[in-house]
């Protein structure tokens, strides 16, 4: 409890005491037992009550989230030009009184839901787009009184600023801004742009009247049943087309995968054939070199061929030299006159 409230309470107690004393003195006088110096006591109590009432009428305590506008019977304009800041203040008793205004954040909601906003029932904003479609908009305005313009708010609006300023301006601004966009833009590509336009316009409107816009929230946008049904059908058609496109893409990828597999198999066959051909070439070259070496060896040593011929015969064969006209004779290489028989 602040000091001003405490003084007011004590003042009320003093007045109750004065009234009680008056009743007591009258009762005692009616019984023929007047109270000695009762009048003086009563006068002192009344003086204390009047003094406390005067003090309580002059003391004003302003909370931290409040500002006070002083309405004065002695000021030239009928009010003090500066609002009272938080703390304890003194005003002229019975000639001035203080109207307090909150400077904390306040929210004004307009919604289609019956119990969400300040107005019971459907309080959404009906607006029409540039292509003639009717939409319903739910919105919330978060705002505060500018502490430096509390006196201005009191002069222009008093305590009606919520309903007659915030509500009226929000509904009018929403209708004006929505009319600049098509219904498709409102719900898709231009929604954020529209919200920023609403915010900027509301900020200026409230600022001109002593309020500060904290945030402007587009809560929900709904359509007429006919348009909602057409939008749903369009979305179904788009989803079907998208699904068909995905199937085509899947088939294309499968075909590309099969082509790559076939290409890989063909490349592998080509590589294998090329390797086999190169192996045969290498083998032929090796055989040619071997024959060349054998040829050189025979040229250098002609009897080497006879030696190789003999060593290739089966070790079980017993051989002997016969005349050249004997039967079953195998010619001995390099020796026309000699033959070998089994």
Q: What is the pLDDT of residues 90-108, one digit of tens each?
A: 999 999 999 999 999 999 9
Q: Each residue of 52-81: pLDDT tens digit? A: 889 988 999 999 999 999 999 999 999 999
Q: What is the pLDDT of residue 87?
A: 92
pTM above 0.85, yes or no: no
Cα gap 185→66, rounded to integer Å: 42
Residue 309 has pLDDT above 70, yes or no: no
Q: What is the pLDDT of residue 339?
A: 46
Nearest Cα neighbor of 332 from 301, 315, 308, 299 is: 308
Q: Each residue of 166-182: pLDDT tens digit? A: 999 999 999 999 999 98
Cα within 13 Å of Cα(159), Cβ side: 6
Share of the chain above pLDDT 90, in %: 35
Q: Calculate the average pLDDT of the chain.
A: 83
Range name among 34-43, 83-92, 124-133, 222-231 with the lowest pLDDT average: 222-231
Share of the chain above pLDDT 70, in %: 87
Between 106 and 286, the higher pLDDT residue:
106
Cα gap 147→141, rounded to integer Å: 18
Cβ 183 vs Cβ 135: under 8 Å: yes
Cα gap 41→145, rounded to integer Å: 50
Q: What is the pLDDT of residue 171?
A: 95
Between 327 and 72, the higher pLDDT residue:
72
Query: Which architecture characterizes domain 106-225 according to CATH?
Result: 2-Layer Sandwich (3.30)
Between 186 and 322, the higher pLDDT residue:
186
Task: State mean pLDDT over 240-260.
Answer: 84
Query: Residue 263 is encoded by which pair of tokens?
Result: 């290409």
What are the C-alpha distances in Å from 308 to residues 269, 301, 312? 43, 12, 6
Q: What is the CA radius of gyration of the chain?
A: 57
Q: Each residue of 186-234: pLDDT tens digit? A: 887 888 899 999 999 999 999 999 999 999 998 888 887 777 676 667 7
60: β partners: 89
Task: State mean pLDDT over 250-279.
Answer: 82
Q: What is the pLDDT of residue 43?
A: 86
Using pLDDT thresholds of 50, 70 and 90, give the confidence band for residue 286.
Answer: confident
Residue 308 has pLDDT above 70, yes or no: no
Q: What is the pLDDT of residue 11?
A: 86
Q: What is the pLDDT of residue 329?
A: 45
Using pLDDT thresholds of 50, 70 and 90, give the confidence band for residue 162.
Answer: very high
Q: What is the pLDDT of residue 322?
A: 54
All CATH 3.30.479.30 domain ranges in the chain, comma separated:
106-225
Q: What is the pLDDT of residue 340?
A: 45
Cα gap 87→330, rounded to integer Å: 142
């Amino acid at each position: 409890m602040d000091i001003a409230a405490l003084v007011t309470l004590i003042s009320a107690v003093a007045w109750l005491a004065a009234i009680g004393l008056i009743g007591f003195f009258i009762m005692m006088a009616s019984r023929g037992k007047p109270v000695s110096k009762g009048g003086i006591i009563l006068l002192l109590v009344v003086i204390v009550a009047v003094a406390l009432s005067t003090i309580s009428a002059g003391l004003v305590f302003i909370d931290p989230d409040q500002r006070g506008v002083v309405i004065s019977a002695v000021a030239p304009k009928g009010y003090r030009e500066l609002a009272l800041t938080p703390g304890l203040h003194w005003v002229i008793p019975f000639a001035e009184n203080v109207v307090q205004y909150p400077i904390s954040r306040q929210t004004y909601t307009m919604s289609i839901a019956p119990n969400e906003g300040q107005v019971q029932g459907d309080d959404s904003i009906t607006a029409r787009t540039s292509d003639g479609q009717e939409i319903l908009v739910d919105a919330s305005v978060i705002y505060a009184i500018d502490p430096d313009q509390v006196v201005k708010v009191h002069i222009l609006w008093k305590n009606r600023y919520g309903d007659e300023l915030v509500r009226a301006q929000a509904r009018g601004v929403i209708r004006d801004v929505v009319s600049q966009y098509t219904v498709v833009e409102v719900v898709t590509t231009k929604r954020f742009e529209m919200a920023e336009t609403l915010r900027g316009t509301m900020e200026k409107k409230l600022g001109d009247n002593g309020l500060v816009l904290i945030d402007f929230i587009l809560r929900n946008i709904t359509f007429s049943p006919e348009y909602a049904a057409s939008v749903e059908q369009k979305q179904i058609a788009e989803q079907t087309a998208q699904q068909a496109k995905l199937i085509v893409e899947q088939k294309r990828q499968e075909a590309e995968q099969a082509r790559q597999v076939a290409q890989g198999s063909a490349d592998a066959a080509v590589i294998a054939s090329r390797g086999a051909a190169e192996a045969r070439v290498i083998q032929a070259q090796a055989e040619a070199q071997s024959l060349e070496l054998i040829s050189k060896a025979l040229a250098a040593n002609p009897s080497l061929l006879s030696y190789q011929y003999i060593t290739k015969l089966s070790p079980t064969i017993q051989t002997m030299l016969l005349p050249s006209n004997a039967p079953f004779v195998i010619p001995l290489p390099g020796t026309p006159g000699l033959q070998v028989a089994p």
